[in-house]
Amino acid sequence: MANEKTSNRLPKRHEIPDEMKWKLEDMYASLEHWEQDYQEVKSLISKIHEFAGRLGESADNLLDVLKTQDTLAEKMGRLYAFARMRRDEDNTNAVYQALTDRAGTLSVQASAATAFIVPEVLAVPNDQLQAFLEREPGLQLYRFALEEIVRMKEHVLSPAEEQLLAQVGELAHGPGTIFGMLNNADIKFPNITDENGDEVELTKGRYIQLLESKDRRVRKDAFEALYATYRKQKNTLAAILQASIKKDVFYASVRNYESALHAAMDEDNIPIEVYGNLIATVHEYLPEMYRYVKLRKRLLGLDELHMYDLFAPIVKNVEFKIAYDEAKRIIAEGLAPMEEEYGTILQEGFRSGWIDVQENEGKTSGAYSWGAFGTHPFVLMNWQDNMNNMFTLAHEMGHAIHSYYTNKTQPFTYSDYTIFVAEVASTCNEALLLEHLLAATTDPKEKMYLLNHHLEGFRGTVFRQTMFAEFEQITHEKVEAGEPLTPELLSKIYHDLNVKYYGPDMVVDEEIDLEWARIPHFYNAFYVYKYATGFSAATALSQQILKEGTPAVDRYVQFLKSGSSDYSINLLKKAGVDMTSPQPIRDALDVFRKRLDEMERLAAEIR
């Protein structure tokens, strides 16, 4: 008979209470409604073909095709989001696996059908395009979008070549899709014995919770069990990651970019120097990370600090066990400086089926915010009763409210926003919540606990994500140089980076060399650096909100409402921070240094 307690078994999807599930019915009331939109998108794909070769004929033709493209993209976005989020509820559900596949295939068909638009716009002489804009008032909505197309002119191919690239889009998504299914549906982890002597199933959702155990044996067992599982798949995972990187390099090459990094940065019109500035500036502050590692080692009373000790509580007799309902209340209090309108939207999200709360068998791990134009946003969680999950909820609600504002304020054309600015909205929520918690406690141990949480935020969001960014840069450069990415090479690169980033007081265990094998962000190349830049911008903006009040809140909310109506760098400048300079990174890391100084003082007092 198994020793595992029923309470430690992951529930099936149908066992989750309805009030803890998101209401995807708000997107589509039934699969029949989904099918109706699916058929309508197929019709729109046929209709849009009729415009091919005719965009330069008249302003009316140009306006009609842009409107049709918007309608097509809006419906396609909703179709895919619904199917994928249904699949994310339980990746083993064959119905929604099939629905996601159908939506993905249709999305590729839609991309192929609209691939002629950009090349044809570029074929229109600039003076004629300006005449169209002056002649047809309806085109004014698309002025910025058309200017963005012209900006990318040297990287756009012929209509036939663009259509071919669009048609292979489904193949290009292959590595990420395969990794997702392997990582979320097929990989199973063993049971381990927790600190109470109970056998529990190791899951990705429970992993960090187990690493926070006060029992070092539990931390070590969870760490070793997780990576032993990935080690069995290392050759497959290396092949998948290499295929993904080769895809990035291929697209950059055919679009005439110097490198995959240049292609990724140009997509958001971010100067390439921003990436280099981030890595160089974080390198300047690595001695502060080494100082934090040394303090952690001392406060834990360890002769050796291992990677599995990074999440262990270092403040004795302080435990923040936070239930979901309590977390919502605390988050609302922490975000009170954002004033009434923001707070009202937050409460609407909490009570109106935006959030899928609990982990269940087959559910996609981690957390995200997603949705579609015309419906409220949604948030996926895998809730555990701890402070990290409370901050994650605040983070994802930052994304969600950002989406809510842009969808309410911007037309569909500009209702999306770049990841570069997205991480500002989410991290600003976290910064305000932390300031609230620090101000609310006078207990030295609780304050020290919170300071350590903030330092861990810096470690995870600035230092670690920059390390990820450096890993992506190195691996892409090696593929661009024709070097194969074997599991051994990937592990060596990753090991050396951990040594560089954590310093002499950290034992870099061989298990951590395989962490590259489980990071889903690596399948969306050159994405993670935006966490670090976003954290830095959010640090500055949250301080402005707390010090200035309403004027800073108004600037910030206007930023949240702006969507993609201007370039990300410009939107942030209007909000009050200039990310073309390394100074915001330095300012944020100076806060890390200040918090570390404060924590060292408190540690001395408590002793």
Q: What confidence tens digit (pLDDT) does each residue in 230-240 have? A: 999 999 999 99
Which residue type occupies 98?
A
Beta bridge partners of 564: none
The answer as to whether 287 is a domain residue is: no
What is the structure's pLDDT at 443? 85
Q: What is the pLDDT of residues 268-298, one digit of tens each?
A: 899 999 999 999 999 999 999 999 999 999 9
What is the structure's pLDDT at 414? 97
Residue 387 and residue 453 in contact, taking contact as beta carbons nearer than 8 Å? yes
Residue 551 confidence (pLDDT) above 60:
yes
Residue 2 confidence (pLDDT) above 70:
no
In the chain, the percentage of residues whose pLDDT exceeds 70 is: 99
What is the structure's pLDDT at 297? 96
What is the structure's pLDDT at 368? 96
Residue 278 and residue 533 in contact, taking contact as beta carbons nearer than 8 Å? yes
Domains held by the chain: number: 1
Taking the mean position of all CA atoms in its chain, how far away is CA 310?
Answer: 22
* For range 403-412, the mean pLDDT: 97
Residue 165 confidence (pLDDT) above 60:
yes
Q: What is the residue range of 66's domain?
A: 13-172
Q: What is the pLDDT of residues 211-261, one digit of tens each?
A: 989 999 999 999 999 999 999 999 999 999 999 999 999 999 999 999 999
Taking the mean position of all CA atoms in its chain, how far away is CA 507?
Answer: 29
The answer as to whether 54 is a domain residue is: yes
Cα torsion 586, 591, 592, 598: sign: positive
The answer as to whether 237 is a domain residue is: no
Write down the pTM of the prediction: 0.80
Work out the pLDDT band at 68, boundaries 50, 70, 90. very high
* For range 122-144, the mean pLDDT: 94
The answer as to whether 35 is a domain residue is: yes
- Domain CATH number, residue 30: 1.20.140.70
The answer as to whether 125 is a domain residue is: yes
Tell me the two tokens of residue 431. 């910064």
Q: Residue 185 carries which DSSP code?
A: I
What is the structure's pLDDT at 430? 93
Helix, strand and coil in the chain, % to nearest 5: 70, 5, 25
Residue tagged active-site, from 396, 423, 456, 472: 396
> For tokens 């406690």, what's the residue?
441
Task: Tell me if residue 396 is catalytic.
Answer: yes
Nearest CA to 172 among 265, 76, 88, 250? Answer: 250
The answer as to whether 243 is a domain residue is: no
Work out the pLDDT band at 1, boundaries 50, 70, 90. very low
Q: What is the mean pLDDT of the chain?
A: 94
Q: Are strands 305-306 and 506-507 parallel, antiparallel or unpaired?
A: parallel
The answer as to whether 339 is a domain residue is: no
The answer as to whether 135 is a domain residue is: yes
